[in-house]
Amino acid sequence: MPKDMFRVQKFVGVYYRESDQRRHHGKPDRCFYITYRDASGKFIYDKVGWGSEGYTAALASQLRGERLRLIRHGEELPRERKKKGVLFSELWDRYDTWLQANKSDPRHDRCTYRIHLQGRFSGKTLDQVAPLDLERMKDDLHREGKAAATIKHCLVLVRQLFNKAIAWELWEGRNPVSAIKLPKLNNERQRFLTVEEAERLMAELEKRSPQTRNIAFLSLYTGLRAGEIFGLKWHDVDCKNGIIHVTGKGGGQEKVYMTDSVKRLFDQIGEGNPDDPVFKVRGGGKEHIKEVSKAFFKAVESAGLNEGIVDPLQKVTFHTLRHTFASWLALRGTPLFTIRELMRHKDIRMTMRYSHLIPDHKREAINGIEKTVQEHRLSESVSSDASGSPQSHP
């Protein structure tokens, strides 16, 4: 073994050497190697790859473990038989058909596959898509400057594809994404609209597209997501009881409550047949809208709501309307538990992001303690003056 090799203390049989020329994350690039003995007892010394190529000591150790398992048990393990003949592209074709029938808007998945997965995996069979390949994809996308959300969506889509392959009996074995750590996202939006900004946006939308204005108004005053609004049919709208029935993110039926202005909005639109969409595509028919109109983004631009803003998390998007709904509730002193119910959050941590908007109410509550003590002392002082017997206070 070369003298410039160093053992990775945490992993047995894993070594590395540092490059004099290559750099990775501001440090000398490391090339990882594994050592083991084959079935005949011969000592094997294999190069795994460079850190800049997506390889890590942990991946090298995992690869070494796979090699040892194959040596010990043979090419095919009895508890993890893999069907090798199905191409990744063939799996995608079946999944794409399933998407069309089961997802209201499959374009995001299709775009992700076309841009990030097709060129990388389409010619491979399912057994050739290993955790190592996915780690390499993660590193490549990161070096290309892709957002953590994009990288995560790529991995989640691959995970969904393999889960479907298992369900459709096209694949037997472990989902390779289960060995990958998904990127953590910092996508909590802090920006919400002031009342003046919201009114300005509605006015701009009214000029361009009254229907888009109605959709935006509904999100602003109910907290509904864009997809939930697009999927609304008239049998979901119960103006008599002030309830909108929607299919939530988890697929379950949920209730959303109307304000008086929302009731008037539905009255103005005019009720249609029970199975008709509330918001139809241009030209009518029974086809529901599938995306936010360009008129919305033009109205945002015209209203100057994103002028001078560089941080994507601070820019106004359609989702900002839902975020504004919750923020306005918090500013009114609405309890976080109630906000959670109205936003239909599954996890209270999603609601806690609005807690910073009610500090004044917390101070008011604390100041109320002193006010109570002062009122009590004043009451005792008045009582003391009336009786002529002074009382001491701490």
Q: Is residue 376 part of a domain?
A: no
Tell which residue, 235, 229, 238, has the closest CA to residue 280: 229
Q: Provide the domain limits for residue 102.
A: 88-179
Which burial class, exposed, middle or buried, applies to 327 when counting CB atoms under 10 A from its CB (0-12, 13-18, 19+)? buried
With pLDDT > 70 as the criterion, what percentage of the chain qualifies?
86
Q: In this predicted model, what pLDDT tens digit does every residue of 233-290 receive, in sequence order? A: 999 999 999 999 998 766 678 999 999 999 999 999 988 889 999 998 876 667 778 8
Which one is predicted more confidently, 81 or 153?
153
Is residue 164's pLDDT more than 90? yes
Looking at the structure, do residues 63 and 131 belong to the same domain, yes or no?
A: no
Looking at the structure, do residues 163 and 14 belong to the same domain, yes or no?
A: no
Is residue 36's pLDDT more than 50? yes
Q: Is residue 340 part of a domain?
A: yes
Lowest mean pLDDT among 127-141, 335-349, 366-380: 366-380
- For residue 361, CA distances in Å to 182, 191, 335, 355, 356 come to 38, 20, 11, 11, 10
pLDDT reported for residue 350: 81
Q: Which of 155, 179, 203 is the last residue of a domain?
A: 179
Q: Is residue 392 part of a domain?
A: no
Q: Is residue 362 part of a domain?
A: no
Looking at the structure, do residues 226 and 352 belong to the same domain, yes or no?
A: yes
pLDDT reported for residue 81: 46
Alpha-carbon gap, residue 119 to 122, rounded angstroms: 6
Q: What are phi and psi of 357, to 5 degrees?
A: -85, -5
Question: How many structural domains does the chain have?
Answer: 3
Predicted confidence band of residue 149 (pLDDT cuts 50, 70, 90): confident
Q: In this predicted model, what pLDDT tens digit does every residue of 317-370 receive, in sequence order? A: 999 999 999 999 988 888 889 999 999 988 888 888 777 776 555 556 666 677
Looking at the structure, do residues 351 and 215 belong to the same domain, yes or no?
A: yes
Looking at the structure, do residues 58 and 132 belong to the same domain, yes or no?
A: no
Alpha-carbon gap, residue 295 to 208, rounded angstroms: 6
Measure the CA dihedral 108/114/115/116, to 10°: 90
Alpha-carbon gap, residue 93 to 103, rounded angstroms: 15
Looking at the structure, do residues 213 and 341 belong to the same domain, yes or no?
A: yes
pLDDT reported for residue 309: 85
Q: Is residue 368 part of a domain?
A: no
What is the CATH classification number for the domain harbouring 295? Answer: 1.10.443.10
Predicted confidence band of residue 67 (pLDDT cuts 50, 70, 90): confident
Lowest mean pLDDT among 205-214, 302-311, 330-339, 371-380: 371-380
Tell which residue, 8, 137, 19, has the closest CA to residue 61: 8
Mean pLDDT, residues 173-186: 84
Over its C-alpha atoms, the chain yields an Rg (Å, rounded) of 30
Looking at the structure, do residues 238 and 349 belong to the same domain, yes or no?
A: yes
Which one is predicted more confidently, 326 or 79?
326
pLDDT reported for residue 186: 60
Looking at the structure, do residues 155 and 273 belong to the same domain, yes or no?
A: no
Q: Is residue 122 part of a domain?
A: yes
Lowest mean pLDDT among 219-223, 351-355, 381-385: 381-385
Name the one residue in this structure whose structure tokens are 């001491």. Answer: 392
pLDDT reported for residue 368: 67
> Do 6 and 16 touch, CB atoms closer than 8 A?
yes
Looking at the structure, do residues 159 and 296 belong to the same domain, yes or no?
A: no
Q: Is residue 394 part of a domain?
A: no
What is the CATH classification number for the domain harbouring 132? Answer: 1.10.150.130
